[in-house]
Structure 1
């Protein structure tokens, strides 16, 4: 029987430490999820990829390959059904597969801020009450607090991303098999916090380049 209450206990956090060469796709559908055509792409179901696309709504996001055939695959968790937003034929680009993952170990806290809806406030002369209409959403930032462990393998990877400001992706694997993909720009504090009788920690910050995607377990 599945747990009644979802708990993060046992979750594992990873960072993409290396990517394979970009794979071009020659077609993409308006669907949920969209299907791309890429001859002999060589990807397997579940492979995590970063996207480069002419569609701003999905470019610089991370997703996983699904329903794979020799020349096509679906982009799990994405939706491109609105032709007004996703102009047919304009979304061509590249899939950039993750080739190596490295665990970010000894995580003590994981928090997400932003992503909330902003509103335009309008008041007409004849109105007693102002009105609101939705506009944009605030950008999302992920903060990960980790035990200070300078010899851990992931530290150099994160520090390199912090220096180069290259785009990468974090993957949070939940105990129930679900995965959350967080694409973005990673940085890490240069020195740990130090307070008597408290754990020394550093903070990894991820400024997301696009909305996260959740891949539900089969």
Structure 2
């Protein structure tokens, strides 16, 4: 049992990607093992995944246990064939080859991700019942002190202008890593309140659930 502060967290935006490489199969295992001929990935590499399995499609996953022609999807349990139908996980991956640190972060907040429900009632009932459906769309908002000369500011602007999907990496003081993937929107007009730091806001509209590694 512990508590922690976010002070010292480092945020980085993906700025460069390698060529997409085909994945011919992913095993039902813990962790799942991806088959990819001559992949060339080192352990610890971060990959954007495209897969027939919606549970991992669009997520950022770390490479582990790499060997010639295969590698583990670090921390991803694909044993359940109801969630990961056998033989349907093929797709492609591309390595993130460059990041720009997002400096001068003032605040980070998230919204969405809540469980949604379908409500129903039978004629003979005098009460409603609910069953879980999907999670609501999730986004991450970052407020940064206004300085257009910084690499992180320029990377956010470029991604927003291109309406591009980019990975966001957050390393916490504990060494824990959070990985997000989504569309970037960036408002270059800073807030202006007398006596307060001028700040610009970036929003990541997530395509998939985040991935977290303890270290």
Instruction: Give the CA RMSD over aligned residues.
Output: 1.5
List structure 1 runs of 4+ shifted beyond 4 angstroms: none
Using the size of structure 1 for normalisation, the TM-score is 0.93
CA offset digits 1:184-208 (Å, max 9, x no partner): 1111112100111000000110000
CA offset digits 1:77-117 (Å, max 9, x no partner): 33322323322222111111000111001111111111100
Determine which structure has the larger strand proportion and give its number: 2
**Residue matched to 2:127:** 129
In structure 2, distance between residues paired with 1:66 and 1:192: 41
* SS of residue paired to 1:30: coil
Residue 43 of structure 1 deviates from its aligned partner by 1.1
Using the size of structure 2 for normalisation, the TM-score is 0.95
Distance verdict in 2 for CA 1:164–1:80, change over 3 Å: same
In structure 1, distance between residues paired with 2:53 and 2:123: 40
**Residue matched to 2:165:** 167
**Residue matched to 1:70:** 68
**Residue matched to 1:91:** 89
**Residue matched to 1:32:** 30
In structure 1, distance between residues paired with 2:214 and 2:68: 23
Residue 166 of structure 1 deviates from its aligned partner by 1.8
In structure 2, distance between residues paired with 1:212 and 1:22: 21
**Residue matched to 1:102:** 100
Unmatched runs of 5 consecutive residues or more in structure 2: none
Residue 129 of structure 1 deviates from its aligned partner by 2.0
* SS of residue paired to 2:93: strand
Which shows bigger deviation, 71-80 or 116-125?
71-80
Q: Does structure 2 retain, via aligned residues, the 8 Å contact 1:12–1:173?
A: yes
Unmatched runs of 5 consecutive residues or more in structure 1: none
Residue 13 of structure 1 deviates from its aligned partner by 0.3
* SS of residue paired to 1:157: helix
The one of 31, 54, 57 equivalent to 2:55 is 57
